[in-house]
Structure formats: C-alpha cells, structure tokens
Amino acid sequence: MGRTIKTGTVTKVGRLNDPDESKRGVIEITNEPAEELGDESVRIKVAYCAICGSDPHLAAGIFGWDAPYGLGHEMSGVIVELGKNATKRGLKVGDHVGGNFLRFCGTCEYCRNGLEEFCPHAEAGNRPCFSEEIVWHESQVFKLPEGISLLQGCLLEPISVSVHTLDKANVKLGDRVLISGGGPIGLLDLQLARISGASKLVLSEPIAERRELALKYGADYVIDPIHQNLEEETKKITGDWGFDVVIDASASIHAAPTLLEAAAKGGTVVYAAQYPNDYEMPLNLFKYLYGRELNLTGVYASHYGFSRAAEIMPRLNLEDLTQKVYPLERIKEAFDCHLSGKYPKVIIKCNEDLE
C-alpha cells in the first residue's frame, strides 16, 4: 500500500458560513495518496499555506471551477526530492521555496507573448497546498531570498499579485495613488506603491486596525469609507486634481463604481480583486472614457512576477501579515478565523517540524 499524506480540502461545496447548515460548505482533513514524481517535477514538503481571500469563494464554487481547483495556493516549503530532469532552474534538495500554483504550457501564443495568465492550457496543482506535501513542475517553483523565513515565504504568491497590479497601474514618481481595501493585497500594493515613488498615498478601508497598518506602512492619509465621503476626501487631499492611480483591492461592489470619481483626468483605475461572476458595473462611457480619458484595466492572475516578487520581499514589512497561524489539523478553525475578518491574514502550518 502506498504512502498517504494529510490534505485539507473541500469535502462539501458551499459557502462556509452559510446560515443554512444544509447549504454550508465543509473543509476538513483527508488522507490522500502521495503523488508520483515526474521527471521534471519537484516534491515539496509544505511548511505554511496562507488562506487567500478567494479560498472561501473557491470552496463555495462561485467561480464555476471544480473544487479544489486553485484552493490553498499561497505556500512555502522545502524541496525533498527532484525528478531526474528537474535541472533547469538550479533547484536542489533542501532549498526553501515558494511558487505559482498554476503551470503554464509555455508554447501557446499567450505564453510566447508574455500573457501567460491567459494560457488556455494552464493547470493547477493536483491538490490544495493545505497539505503535508505537494508535487509541482519545476517551472512553478522559486527559491526564497536570503533572510526570508518559511513563514514569510508563503506570501510570495500574493506579493506576485501585487507586482502584477503595480505593473498594470504603472505608478510613476510623484503620482497620487489611492488604494481601496486594506486586506493583504491592498497593504502589499500600498508598500509597493511607496517604493515606486507615489507622492500622496492613500488607503480607503472600513476596519480601523487595517487603517492603522496602512499608516505604519507609509500611507499619507487613510479614509474610513463608512463614515467619510470618498469624493469629498479626494478633493481635500488632491484639490481638484484627483488620483493619478486608483487601485481597487476590496472586491466591494459598493466601492467599485465610486472609485471612478476619485480618478484624475487621464488617470488609471485598476480593478485588482475578484468580483461575483454576475456583477455588472454601470459605466457612463461619455463621462469616464470620452470626457476624462480614464484608463480602466484589471488583474486576473500572477505570471511573470514571481522572480521580481522574491527580489523585493526583503524590503517589505511582512510581520503583521504572519501573526495568526493554525496547525493543519485545525483548518476549520482557521477558515472561521479568516471569515471573521479579525486578522489581515490567517496562515496554516502544514508540517510542525518546519520553521
């Protein structure tokens, strides 16, 4: 009989906190057979896997993907075995690594044109990274930089999302930047925007503790969108100019339309969160695209940003995002804690002997 490993996975699809128990999804530990190692594959003993804001949505199946596709993807770990041909990236047993849960084909027109996130042949890992070990293709694996712990290393994937977001935002020296949403991505976006040279850097976020973190990370101003009017605050901060760059990291359908008013003429608005599949935002083309020439864009998935994300990690404040850690056996509690919103990030420790 083959070796088995513990994996935290969806055993029943549905909203995890649905008041109707019959419709509530279930995440629990299962015993799964260990995966075979391919010639170009890497076996990783998982140290930590952070809960992404998308994970409860994936568990609910609201994106139309079969669970557990993409569930549990913010990981770090240690290489314990290499396939005989996994030699192109200089990886070796014992390396501390993070990586991309998506494997791109590398040969389609999207991949060949630097648009890997649209690869029609992209595949996710065979199991969630809430697991004692995973097997990935070597192209998905990236060494963590010196000085970055395994605990911090599980943030490589969300940092890569922020790298992609800042690429789309094209923040220039002196730009006025507004970020909506003070979750992990918003707080990482804020730090990267500061590094990129933003002059007036503002975070809009209803949770007071996250506004405090934003100020700690370099925000010049914070806005409470519940008790303050965003348009009025924009005028106070920028005069009649508005923000050169507006980034939505909130996924709030209430915030999304209001952000257009905060943008300066000729400014860029990046919708960098996952919204309900059926949400349609009203857009006055004459007002925003003709009269103000706004550049509207979005963010779908990380791709080429992982190497740069690893390079920038030592310059980021990651301590506050790695405070709440649960063992794998308490995965249900970890998801409940995540859904409470009390902590900006909740992390699962998948192997107790790895630090």
Domains, the chain: 4-155+318-349 (3.90.180.10), 162-298 (3.40.50.720)
DSSP-derived pairing of the beta strands 41-50 and 133-137:
antiparallel
Please name which of 121, 123, 144, 149 lies closest in space to residue 135, comparing C-alpha atoms: 123
Terminal alpha carbon distance of the chain: 30
And the tokens for 142? 């990236």
Q: What is the pLDDT of residue 59?
A: 83
| pLDDT attached to residue 68 | 60
Q: What is the pLDDT at residue 132?
A: 97
226/83 Cα distance (integer angstroms): 53
Tens of pLDDT, residue by residue over 29-77, are 999 999 999 999 999 999 999 999 888 888 887 766 665 667 899 999 9
Quick one: what percent of the chain has pLDDT higher than 90?
82
Nearest to 125 by CA among 75, 160, 162, 199: 75
Distance separating alpha carbons of residues 306 and 266, to the nearest angstrom = 30
- Is pLDDT above 90 for 136? yes
Tell whether the model's pLDDT for residue 336 goes beyond 70.
yes
